[in-house]
Amino acid sequence: MGRWDINSGLMDYQVLAYYCIVAIEDPQGEVARHKEFFSTRDFKGRIYISEQGINGQASGSKEAAEEYIAWMQSDPRFQKMPFKIHAAPEHAFPKMTVKYRKQLVAIDCDVDFSKRAEHISPQVWRQMLEARGQETVVIDVRNNYESKVGHFEGADLPDLETFRKFPEYAKQLKQARDPAKTTVMMYCTGGIRCEFYSALMKQEGFDKVYQLDGGVINYGLQEGGEHWRGKLFVFDDRLAVPLNEGSEPISHCVHCGCPNDVYYNCANMDCNELFLSCETCLKQHLGCCCNDCKSAERVRPCQENAKPFRKWSHEEKIALKNGTHLQS
């Protein structure tokens, strides 16, 4: 059974995923403390800090990553915070961003963290998947564009573009299933969304709720791709990564319908939607998701790779406005 190997290959960088639900009295001060730490180190990523805790995805040189982990674990608040680590040949993020965020997860309602579900290890999760019956529901707690390229076999995939709508989904599930008899297994990318949504499930009356410890990332590190179909969507330059080698696409090119799991941002700047496309169709449609976008006024040059589009500089925007950019 294949597993992600964080030490394989000649990789110069490490990609870290981590979070901790803990009371932070001065989150703005913690933001400043982080910015000072990163000011002298080769580190890039997105880190959000609030009164609820911290949520981070970042990449750094091996030395910088090790220094950051040691620095964080020297703080009693984060001493036991696990870091999920992957090796990479380059940075997975374009820049370093550390911000205060009122909600670590966009949910727009109060959450009683004392009701969070029990964490179960990847090994136990796999065993529960193999033994589940009619009264067990496996819920993919991610957006629809994430589950489209990869998910656990037999999982319920809520068709939600944003999980601000998850409370509504939980109420609908309560109408469809008896909370007293239903066992709920929940998973997300790294685990933090389950901390919020599992508590909501319990508030709706579901007592037997379990969450995959460390999310799919940890499952891939421990169990490989067993019972997983497709790839894992990630919020960095990689966009989608396999849990083991040889994974087959379960999604399709929006243009020709061939098996494909590569996401691109639409070249129409006023659209910018993620869409799945093969390389042939990408070039034929000038990097756009549909014909309407292809004929739009503000179309960027076709992407040559699947990395997310970056914000353009002022000079690039002026060139586009003046029609001096070139489409490939």
User: Catalytic amino acids?
Assistant: 188
Closest residue by Cα to residue 233 from 217, 245, 210? 217
Cα separation, 190 vs 82, in Å, equals 11
H or E segment and range at residue 279: helix 279-284
Cα separation, 321 vs 302, in Å, equals 16
Cα separation, 55 vs 52, in Å, equals 10
Amino acid at 262: V
In the 3-class helix/strand/coil scheme, how is 12-76 assigned residue by residue?
Answer: CEEEEEEEEECCCCCHHHHHHHHHHHHCCCCEEEEEEEECCEEEEEEEEEHHHHHHHHHHHHCCC
Distance of CA 151 to the CA centre of its chain: 13
Cα separation, 304 vs 321, in Å, equals 21
Confirm if 77 and 24 have CB atoms less than 8 A apart: yes
Nearest 10 degrees: Cα torsion 177, 178, 179, 181: -110
Amino acid at 312: W
Task: Give the max Cα distance, the chain.
Answer: 64
Q: Which residues pair with 185 in a beta bridge?
A: 138, 210
